[in-house]
């Protein structure tokens, strides 16, 4: 172990040991915390690391290592393929697993929505949602842990990811706990505003719904995901767009995404800023009639 103290200018993120060993050496240094605010270099970038090293750490009672915050992107890229395995590690605190999920998911969402997506990136997003779905179905506190690591959505990727995770949780209650449906809901949320990509500067852009649906149709995404992009601004009372559909004429997945999308908009953009519970109150009161009652009620209960 190299024990030179780390630079005090850096800030650090704790990471679980799971998922760290891979064929390629880690392109970033790993640190140990030896006391509050004291980090020492454990492995330099590209330093060798195998299961026996991790075994020795565990034998010493060390359950986590640290990376510099500037290396978070590289770290999440590295563990993307082992995400499901990390989320299954019961030895890793749920909060820490939720943080890895959020980090990986945000890096994939950012790529997914940086330009009109391709099949390969959609496939990666699908895998992330599948892993998230597994976590939600295994652990009843997963949603609470995921919610804690989601901040206010200040960009399209953050907004889309928050909507995706919340759609998945709501679908589990109002549609089906079947993982196919839940993953579709996650993807529907993640991709609902894909028509905005390349037009982010437009404040008012009602065409994004049809543009997005067309894009997703070309990528051969499931009908429910395409429907959600097309109809997430339709309102239960017929006041929405693009077609002024009403009630059950709006596809169920679009009703679900529309509700969650509106919540995140209130929570993230309302001025002055509001907390989660005020955002829920506004959703239930100011948007009365816009959404299906049973979905609104179930959504409020998710936050209990």
Chain contacts with Fe ion (rule: CB under 5 A): 193, 261
Smaller CB separation from Fe ion, 26 or 194: 194
Smaller CB separation from Fe ion, 13 or 261: 261
CA distance 288 to 166: 20
Name the phi and psi angles at 33, rounded to 5. Answer: -100, 120
CA distance 84 to 15: 15
14 bridge partner residues: 66
C-beta separation of 284 from 213 below 8 A: no
- Residue matched to tokens 């395409």: 226
Alpha-carbon 275 to chain mean position: 20
Smaller CB separation from Fe ion, 49 or 266: 266
User: In a 3-state reduction of DSSP, which class is residue 282?
Assistant: helix
Shortest spacing between CB 242 and Fe ion, in angstroms: 11
Smaller CB separation from Fe ion, 182 or 190: 190
Smaller CB separation from Fe ion, 83 or 161: 161
Residues 6+ apart with CB under 8 A from 125: 108, 109, 112, 117, 187, 190, 191
Smaller CB separation from Fe ion, 65 or 188: 188
Supply the DSSP symbol for 31. Answer: E
Smaller CB separation from Fe ion, 111 or 210: 210
Smaller CB separation from Fe ion, 96 or 261: 261
Angle at 180 between CA 174 and CA 181, to 5 degrees: 25
Shortest spacing between CB 136 and Fe ion, in angstroms: 21
Smaller CB separation from Fe ion, 79 or 230: 230
Shortest spacing between CB 193 and Fe ion, in angstroms: 4
- Residue matched to tokens 């997945």: 253
C-beta separation of 133 from 262 below 8 A: no
Shortest spacing between CB 165 and Fe ion, in angstroms: 14
Give 282: exposed, middle or buried? Use CB within 10 Å, 0-12, 13-18, 19+: middle
Shortest spacing between CB 192 and Fe ion, in angstroms: 6
Shortest spacing between CB 159 and Fe ion, in angstroms: 6
Secondary structure element (H or E) that encloses residue 51, with its range: helix 51-59
Shortest spacing between CB 95 and Fe ion, in angstroms: 27
Shortest spacing between CB 228 and Fe ion, in angstroms: 10
- Residue matched to tokens 């892993």: 131
Shortest spacing between CB 273 and Fe ion, in angstroms: 18
Q: Considering only CA atoms, which of 30, 167, 160, 149 is closest in space to residue 108?
A: 160
CA distance 226 to 212: 8
């Amino acid at each position: 172990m190299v024990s030179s103290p780390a630079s005090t200018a850096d800030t650090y993120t704790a990471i679980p040991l799971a998922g760290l060993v891979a064929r390629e050496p880690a392109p970033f240094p790993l640190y140990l915390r030896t006391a509050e605010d004291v980090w020492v270099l454990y492995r330099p970038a590209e330093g060798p690391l195998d299961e026996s090293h991790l075994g020795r750490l565990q034998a010493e009672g060390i359950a986590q290592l640290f990376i510099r915050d500037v290396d978070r992107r590289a770290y999440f890229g590295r563990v993307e393929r082992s995400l499901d395995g990390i989320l299954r590690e019961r030895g890793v605190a749920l909060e820490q697993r939720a943080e890895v999920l959020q980090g990986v998911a945000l890096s994939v969402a950012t790529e997914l929505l940086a330009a009109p997506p391709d099949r390969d990136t959609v496939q990666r997003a699908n895998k992330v949602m599948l892993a998230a779905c597994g976590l939600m179905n295994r652990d009843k506190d997963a949603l609470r842990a995921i919610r804690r690591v989601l901040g206010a959505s200040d960009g399209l990727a953050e907004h889309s990811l928050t909507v995706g995770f919340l759609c998945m949780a709501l679908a589990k209650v109002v549609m089906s706990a079947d993982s196919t449906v839940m993953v579709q809901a996650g993807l529907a949320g993640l991709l609902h505003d894909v028509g905005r990509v390349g037009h982010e500067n437009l404040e008012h852009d009602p065409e994004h719904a049809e543009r997005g649906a067309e894009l997703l149709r070309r990528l051969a995404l499931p009908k429910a995901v395409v429907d959600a992009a097309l109809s997430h601004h339709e309102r239960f009372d017929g006041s929405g767009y693009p077609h002024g559909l009403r009630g059950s004429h709006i596809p169920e997945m679009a009703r679900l995404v529309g509700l969650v999308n509106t919540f995140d908009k209130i929570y993230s953009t309302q001025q002055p800023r509001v907390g989660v519970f005020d955002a829920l109150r506004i959703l239930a009161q100011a948007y009365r009639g816009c959404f299906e009652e049973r979905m609104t009620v179930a959504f409020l209960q998710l936050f209990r």
